[in-house]
Amino acid sequence: MARTFLSRRTMLRGVTGGATVGLALPLLDAMLDGNGARADGLHDGPIFGLFYWANGMPWHAGHGALQASTGQPDLWTPAATGPGYAPSELLTPLVAHQPTVATGLTPHTEVPQTPPGQEDGHMRGFMVALTGDRIRPEGFDHPSHTLTALRPSLDQFVAKHPEFYGNDLPRFRSLVVGASPARFHDYGHWNAISYNGPDSLNQPILDPAQLYDLLFAVPQDLPTVARRAALLDAVIEDADGLKQRLGMVDRIRVDEHLAHLDEIQRRLELTSAPCLGPSQPADTPDLLVKTQIMGNLLGVALGCGLTRVFSFMLTSPASTHVFSNLGVANDMHSTCHAGEWQQVRDVTHYHMQAFALLLDELAAGVDPTGTSLMDRAVVFGTSEYGEGWQHSVAEMPALLVGGGGGALQRGVHVRDPGGNFSKVHVTLLRALGLDTPSFGFNGGETSDALPGFLV
């Protein structure tokens, strides 16, 4: 046959006449120094992490009149602003990592009147915090809590931003992981926080063994792997005729599926040397232990350059996780609704302890130049709304942790009551070196970074 199904891609990475040629250089040899650490420190480029926890924080007067009527104190907002602020009670677990914190921020996106229910924090606050936009207003159905995003979440926005990786793509554009398996619903954003776009979610890996295998159990039979990679050309070609016969939405779904095949093909072609991993860990129901395990695997993966972007869903939106270890009898979502302020305080504190453990893992690995992953990282910590009793989107939490390769100021508190939440997005995108004239959509646009956050 004259035509070859391999014509779609260059031949050199595939198979010619049964011989394997031109596989990528072994990663470890190429990138690590003799001590197993990356030799070039900050020049490795910034790391972006997204850390998400459910149900905001305990409510206080800043969240609204009803919340004020309970007389509960604000345990989140530090008393002082500026650099070197003294941490609040709930930020204390993070103190070793000198988080930079913005308080008072809230969504500025428009809220369409119909269909009703779009102002709910679970919907609006979540989507603004994660994507900078409102929920997709058409197709929203409040009674079944069905909704989707208009655009990618920040982790995917960064991972696919042309300036972020440029031509130097790592093995994974991003890793999407999580800890608690409890779900309010088994669909949509209740299930996952990482969006590629409308109805296109990345469900988090929750099983440490699965994450371990994905990262470290790399097949070593190179000729076979090369044939697997080459085969994908035929799969992609096989779908071409189908696409022409589909409606627009389904064509986009299939196109995205095929684009993933390109990515998988690229990864198979990179298969030549494993990143040295720890031993395969077991799962655990303890969220702190599990966060540590997942954080350790992420740290190794980031350290040997398997990716530079991750998201970590500690608990899912409106989480129904039962914190019986904290003496909380009902599930978290019900506990918020029942107005159990002290229990919500305890759970929020626990969430921050977990966040600290993740950051500890990333800070632990230091290369010979004294640079840690946290020095290179911008880790964005946020939740779905300000508080879960009334779902207020006032005073939404926003933390930026890490040095951002020298671009992010550590340990600063800026207070901006009623300020546009997307200022955080502008700040973190600029800290990552991405040209960001403005960010935020549908009324949420802003060109302002938070003052004093960027070096």
Partner 1 sequence: MTRSGLEVLIAVAAAVALAACQQDGAHASAGDDGGDTAQTQGDGDGGPDTDDDPTGAGADDAIPGPRVLPRLTAVQYRNSLVALLGPDLPPTPVEPDTNPYLFFTIGASTTTLSELGTSQYEEAADRVTHAVFDDPTRRAALVGCEPGLPGDSCVAQFLASFGRRAYRRPLTATEHARWLEVSAQLADPDAWEGVRLAVAGMLQSPHFLYRVELGTPDPEDPTRLRYTGYEMASRLSFLLWDVMPDDALFAAADRGDLDDTAGIRTEAERMLADERARATVQSFFAQYLDLGRIEGATRDPVAYPLFTLTMPDSMRAEVELLVDDVVFREHGDVRSIFSTRRTFVNDELAALYGIDAPGASPITFVPVELPEDGPRMGLLTLGAFLTMNAKQTQTSPTARGKYIRERVLCQTVPPPPPEVNTELDAPSGEGETMREKLAEHRLNPACTGCHQFIDPPGLLFESFDAAGVFRELENGVPVDSSGDLDGIPLADARGLAELLRDDPRVGRCMVTQLFRHAQGRLDTPDEAPTIDDLDARFVAADHRFLDLLVELATHEGFRTALAQEAP
Q: According to CB under 8 A, which residues from 308 to 337 bind partner 1?
A: 322, 324, 329-331, 334, 337
Residue indicated by tokens 């994974």: 172
Which of residues 10 and 324 has its CB atom nearest to partner 1 in the complex? 324
Which of residues 337 and 415 has its CB atom nearest to partner 1 in the complex? 337
Hey, which residues between 93 and 132 contact partner 1 (CB under 8 A)? 115-117, 119-120
SS3 of residue 50 by DSSP: strand
- Shortest Cβ 38–partner 1 spacing (Å): 25
Strand partners of residue 178: 313
Farthest-apart Cα atoms in the chain, separation: 80
Angstrom distance (rounded) from CA 246 to CA 255: 11
Which of residues 6 and 364 has its CB atom nearest to partner 1 in the complex? 6
Angstrom distance (rounded) from CA 9 to CA 25: 20
Which of residues 181 and 433 has its CB atom nearest to partner 1 in the complex? 181
Angstrom distance (rounded) from CA 190 to CA 446: 28
Angstrom distance (rounded) from CA 304 to CA 277: 10
SS3 of residue 136 by DSSP: coil
Which of residues 19 and 282 has its CB atom nearest to partner 1 in the complex? 19
Cα angle, residue 87 at apex, residues 85 and 92 outer, rounded to 5°:
155
Which of residues 60 and 410 has its CB atom nearest to partner 1 in the complex? 60
The whole-angstrom distance between residue 189's C-alpha and the CA centroid of its chain comes to 13
Which of residues 280 and 438 has its CB atom nearest to partner 1 in the complex? 280
Angstrom distance (rounded) from CA 110 to CA 124: 10
- Shortest Cβ 329–partner 1 spacing (Å): 5
- Transcribe 54-84 into DSSP letters: SSBB---GGG-HHHHTTT---SSS-SS-EET
CA atoms within 13 A on the CB side of 374: 21
Show the tokens assigned to 186.
């088994």
Hey, which residues between 351 and 390 contact partner 1 (CB under 8 A)? 389-390
Is 408 near partner 1 (CB under 8 A)? no
Is 241 near partner 1 (CB under 8 A)? yes
SS3 of residue 201 by DSSP: strand
Is 237 near partner 1 (CB under 8 A)? yes
Choose, by CB under 8 A, the member of 22, 73, 83, 223 that binds partner 1: 223
Contact track, partner 1, 410-439, x by CB under 8 A: ------------------------------
Q: Which range of residues in 87-95, 234-242, 270-278, 370-378 is near partner 1 by CB under 8 A?
A: 234-242
- DSSP letter at 16 equals E
Is 267 near partner 1 (CB under 8 A)? yes
- Shortest Cβ 139–partner 1 spacing (Å): 4
287-303 and 341-364 are packed helices; what angle lies between their axes, rounded to 10 degrees?
30
- Shortest Cβ 287–partner 1 spacing (Å): 15
Which of residues 177 and 359 has its CB atom nearest to partner 1 in the complex? 177
Question: Pick from 287, 293, 284, 432: which is nearest to 352 by CA?
Answer: 287
Choose, by CB under 8 A, the member of 148, 291, 292, 316 that binds partner 1: 148
Q: Which range of residues in 50-58, 133-141, 280-288, 308-316 is near partner 1 by CB under 8 A?
A: 133-141
- Shortest Cβ 78–partner 1 spacing (Å): 28
